[in-house]
Amino acid sequence: MTVAFRPRPSVVRRDSGLYAYERALARRGLTPIAGVDEAGRGACAGPLVVAAVVLRREIGGLGDSKLLSAPVRERLYDRVVATAHVGVVVIPAAEIDARGLHRSNVSGMRRAVAQLPCDPEYILTDGFPVPGMPAPSLAVWKGDQVAACVAAASIVAKVTRDRLMVELDRRFPQYGFAEHKGYVTPGHRLALERHGPCPEHRYSFVTVAKGMGENEMGAGVA
């Protein structure tokens, strides 16, 4: 579906505060506004989680989820899900392998927006443009640091994924998923060398492919 062009908030300064984008768009009558972000793009194990958030009120303390402590993220997560409209999509490792990371990411962003209980008038995405959105959209560089709705989406995605990785750690304790959350660390590399990959690893990633050298079947596959 082709969406008609609407004015973008091009006059917004990046140092104008976390709600500057939303306020500029609201002045043009473009509300509600959805922010979209993902967690787990750079991991070699576990799902990719994409979240879309429409804030219904301002929430203090929002920011890039990667720059916040885990307790702060948890508190902000609770506030966001209690007061905002939220859509979350979990894309498993097998789907990432089958479709490719970026294609899965783009599809997940569209699906997360479609899950929202309201129809956004404008959409802010973190980092790169997403074609096929149901409303005009703008890719914002480091959007989770400059746009409140994108920051909220990054927190929802990060907390959701971290919780899933803790659950996976109980199923596959030999990899340490609860600690590194599926990202490449020395300990994770060593576990791959010793045990090979499990079904929750992304086999299309180089680090995992190397880990299959010693044990192609991997621990936990049988």
CB 9 within 8 A of CB 24: yes
pLDDT for residue 8: 54
* Long-range own/partner contacts, residues 25-31 (CB < 8 A, 24 or more apart): 25/121, 25/122, 29/121, 30/6, 30/121, 30/122, 30/136, 31/121, 31/122
pLDDT for residue 200: 98
Comparing C-alpha atoms, which of 82, 80, 102, 96 is closest to residue 35? 80
Element (H or E) spanning 80, and its range?
A: helix 70-83
Which pTM was predicted?
0.89
pLDDT for residue 210: 81
Query: Per residue of the chain (222 residues), what is the pLDDT tens digit?
Result: 434 444 455 445 555 689 999 999 999 999 999 999 999 999 999 999 999 999 999 999 999 999 999 999 999 999 999 999 999 999 999 999 999 999 999 999 999 999 999 999 999 999 999 999 999 999 999 999 999 999 999 999 999 999 999 999 999 999 999 999 999 999 999 999 999 999 999 999 998 988 676 444 443 332
Alpha-carbon distance of 43 to 59, in angstroms, equals 29
Domains in the chain, please, with CATH? 20-167 (3.30.420.10), 173-211 (no CATH)
Packing angle, helices 70-83 and 148-171, rounded to 10: 120
